[in-house]
């Protein structure tokens, strides 16, 4: 787990920095304390040497050698002129070759009646006399501190790894639950003893329940809308901003000749006629196209289109093919009836003159001509005022035309 590794690395880094600071400050503090202890011890031993020093100066070399071996210290006796009279590390025969110590600060301070101390490497024997014991103690202490620090780092790393896993596991499971929610799957929420993580899991669970409720409502609305669109007799098409068809109801597929298993092409390719393409292009540019009659191959449709706010358009097609076919049938029927009625009516208009025996039958023939003219299709169609059907009711009572050519012969129209 990345979180656990980072937590462990952070813990180890903190431990290392802490140990480093601890070692540095502990070394300085310990060294200072040891220096003060050594200095106090040396001052006490110096006073002891002064008190036990023989009165005979010839016995000084043997005394300092015996005292130095017994106390494991270096003792140097210097007279007031700065000349070395005895030294535990220098044989008596070589004392004349030792440099004069009269100019050294600790010697000057001692000759002035005080106590002189100095931190300096000895040129006589080539070692740091005062710090031999101090460095040994400090080094041993440092090794102990470093060993304890290493153990602390190991234990801290193990504890950090365990703590990281206990924290990272619910976080990882929470992330998996969030991905399951995004994918529409059923999530599994973790349980953690950490209050902050539990609060986050509870918030995520509440969000999932709220999203489920909202998605259910949206699905119900979508199903209702889909059922309503599919039940429409008008064809409905929706497309995106590039003209690709996203939704098409069964009526639209039936009008366009595309079954449910076929993909409808883009609107610019779908409509072949110029009027329909212009309407679609105008809608994709953001214009609203009102009712416009267009041709779709063998069908006549009324097209309406509106742009969508986020890009795209909705196109509604109303099939007018049957309406236009019925109008054509009606016009043909009226024209045929008018033509068929003209011939008999023309014959009828000549019959009154023949029946009148030479007398004028002008009024009756004018009336029959009017009936013939009314049979022709006019602006009002077959059932309009002035047509044959309406004028038949206005024909007067059967006209009687009397002739004198026979014995009481009578011709009557009835």
Confidence at residue 218, expressed as pLDDT on a 0 to 100 scale = 92
Let me know: does 302 contact 295? Beta carbons within 8 Å.
no
Confidence of residue 119 (pLDDT cuts 50, 70, 90): low
pLDDT tens per residue across span 263-310: 889 888 888 888 888 888 898 888 998 888 888 878 888 999 999 988
Please give the structure tokens belonging to residue 263.
């993909």
Confidence at residue 136, expressed as pLDDT on a 0 to 100 scale = 59
Least confident segment among 9-13, 42-46, 161-165: 42-46
Read out DSSP for 153-206? HHHHHHHHHHHHHHHHHHHHHHHHHHHHHHHTSPP-----S-HHHHHHHHHHHH
Let me know: does 236 contact 247? Beta carbons within 8 Å.
yes
Confidence of residue 316 (pLDDT cuts 50, 70, 90): very high
Name the average pLDDT for the chain. Answer: 75
Place of tokens 């100066």: 57
Average pLDDT over residues 204-224: 90
Cα separation of 291 and 264, whole Å? 23
Confidence at residue 100, expressed as pLDDT on a 0 to 100 scale = 78
Choose from 77-86, 111-120, 221-230 the range with maximum mean pLDDT.
221-230
Query: Is the C-alpha dihedral spanning 397, 398, 399, 405 positive or negative?
Result: negative
Place of tokens 């009659």: 293
Please give the structure tokens belonging to residue 153.
């780092």
Identify the three-state secondary structure at position 247: strand
Confidence of residue 380 (pLDDT cuts 50, 70, 90): very low
CA distances from 134 to 35, 69, 100, 119, 360 (A): 7, 19, 27, 12, 165
Give the closest residue to 271 by CA, choosing from 250, 292, 286, 287: 292
Confidence at residue 114, expressed as pLDDT on a 0 to 100 scale = 67
CA distances from 335 to 25, 196, 378, 389 (A): 121, 89, 10, 15
CA distances from 207 to 45, 92, 178, 187, 377 (A): 82, 96, 10, 12, 73
Residue 109 has pLDDT above 60, yes or no: yes
Q: For residue 24, report the phi and psi dihedrals to the nearest 5 degrees.
A: -65, -50
Confidence at residue 314, expressed as pLDDT on a 0 to 100 scale = 92
Cα separation of 372 and 59, whole Å? 177
End-to-end CA distance of the chain: 113
pLDDT tens per residue across span 48-88: 777 777 777 777 778 877 877 777 777 777 777 878 778 87
pTM recorded for the entire structure: 0.42
């Amino acid at each position: 787990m990345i979180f656990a590794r980072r937590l462990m690395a952070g813990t180890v880094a903190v431990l290392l920095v802490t140990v480093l600071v601890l070692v540095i400050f502990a070394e300085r503090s310990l060294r200072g304390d040891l220096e003060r202890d050594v200095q106090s011890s040396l001052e006490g031993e110096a006073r002891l040497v002064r008190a036990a020093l023989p009165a005979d100066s010839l016995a000084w070399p043997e005394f300092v050698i015996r005292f130095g071996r017994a106390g494991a210290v270096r003792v140097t006796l210097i007279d007031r002129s700065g000349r070395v009279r005895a030294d535990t590390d220098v044989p008596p025969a070589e004392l004349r070759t030792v440099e004069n110590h009269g100019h050294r600060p600790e010697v000057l301070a001692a000759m002035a009646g005080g106590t002189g101390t100095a931190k300096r490497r000895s040129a006589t024997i080539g070692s740091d006399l005062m710090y031999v014991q101090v460095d040994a103690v400090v080094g041993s202490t440092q090794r102990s501190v470093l060993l304890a620090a290493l153990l602390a780092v190991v234990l801290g790393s193990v504890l950090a790894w365990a703590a990281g896993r206990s924290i990272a596991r619910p976080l990882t499971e929470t992330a998996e639950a969030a991905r399951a929610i995004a994918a529409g799957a059923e999530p599994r929420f973790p349980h953690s003893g950490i209050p902050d993580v539990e609060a986050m899991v509870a918030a995520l669970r509440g969000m999932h329940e709220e999203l489920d409720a909202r998605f259910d409502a949206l699905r119900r609305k979508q199903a209702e809308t889909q059922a309503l669109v599919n039940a429409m007799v008008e064809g409905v098409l929706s497309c995106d901003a590039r003209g690709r068809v996203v939704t098409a109801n069964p009526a639209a597929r039936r009008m366009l000749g595309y079954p449910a298993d076929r993909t409808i092409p883009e609107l610019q390719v779908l409509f072949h006629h110029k009027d329909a393409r212009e309407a679609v292009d105008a809608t994709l540019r953001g214009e609203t196209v009102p009712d416009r009659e267009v041709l779709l191959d063998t069908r006549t449709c009324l097209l309406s289109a509106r742009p969508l706010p986020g890009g795209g358009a909705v196109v509604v097609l109303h099939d007018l093919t049957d309406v236009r076919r019925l109008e054509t049938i009606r016009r043909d029927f009226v024209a045929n009836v008018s033509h068929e009625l003209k011939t008999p009516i023309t014959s009828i208009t000549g019959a009154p003159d023949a029946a009148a025996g030479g007398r004028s039958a002008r009024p009756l023939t004018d009336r029959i001509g009017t009936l013939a003219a009314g049979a022709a299709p006019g602006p009002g169609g077959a059932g309009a005022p002035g047509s044959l059907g309406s004028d038949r009711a206005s024909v007067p009572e059967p006209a009687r035309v009397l002739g004198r050519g026979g014995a009481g012969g009578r011709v009557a129209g009835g």
